[in-house]
Amino acid sequence: MKLNIANELRSPGKAGECALRSQFDGFEFAGRRIEFAAPVTVKARYVYDGIGIDVRGSIETAFVSVCARCGEEFTEPFEANFSERFVKSAEDCRDDCYMFSTDVIDLSDMVIDNILLNMPIAGTCSEDCKGICGVCGINLNTGQCSCSNGG
Ligand SMILES: [Zn+2]
Ligand SMILES: [Zn+2]
C-alpha cells in the first residue's frame, strides 16, 4: 500500500489527503491465522513538517474469524484509527517512527502493526450466538438437541 508524498515534500505544512485500498495477504500471528475477508481501506491526512511526515487516519477492513462460542467462521468488521510519524533518518525520530526514503511511502507495515494493536481478541458471530451444546456438541444456532438446557 503506497502513499505518494511528492507534493507534500515540496510544500511543507500543506496537508494532503488520500483514500487507499488494497488486498492484504493473510498471515500467522501469535499462533492465530489472520485472514482478510475484504480489502484494507486507509483514509489518511498527512503533512510534512520539514523533517518528517505525520500521517493520521483510519483503517477499515474485515477478517475471516472463528466464533469464540460456536466455532463457525464469520466475517468480522474491523476499524481503527491511527496516528504515526515517518522520518527519513533515525536521528529525526523522537518517539516511535517509521522510515521512508523516497517520495513514495509504503504504509503496509504500519497498517499491519495498527491492525495487530487493535485486533479483537475473540469475537462472536453475533451478539446472541447460542454457541454449541456442551453435551452433544450441536451448533445451537442451526439446530436443537434434546439435552437439558440447564447449562
Ligand atoms: Zn457463533
Ligand atoms: Zn445437546
Enumerate the domain spans of the chain. Answer: 2-117
Question: What is the arithmetic mean of pLDDT over 107-121?
Answer: 92
Closest C-alpha to 44, from 101, 86, 11: 86
Report whether pLDDT(55) > 90. yes
β-pair type (98-99, 73-87): parallel
How many Å apart are CA 14 and CA 142, to the nearest integer? 55
Query: Which grid coordinates are listed for 113?
Result: 502493526
139 CA → ligand 2 middle, Å? 9
Question: What is the arithmetic mean of pLDDT over 10-32?
Answer: 93
Amino acid at 86: F
Which ligand has the nearest atom to the CA of 65? 1
- Distant-in-sequence, close-in-space partners of 130: CB < 8 Å, separation ≥ 6: 69, 70, 140, 141
β-pair type (52-66, 32-36): antiparallel
Residue 149 confidence class, pLDDT cut points 50, 70, 90: low
Closest C-alpha to 76, from 27, 111, 125: 125
Report whether pLDDT(18) > 60. yes
More confident residue, 129 or 149: 129
Helix (H, G, I), strand (E, B) or coil at 64: strand
Query: Which grid coordinates are listed for 117?
Result: 494493536
76 CA → ligand 2 middle, Å? 27
Report whether pLDDT(145) > 90. yes
Which ligand has the nearest atom to the CA of 130? 1
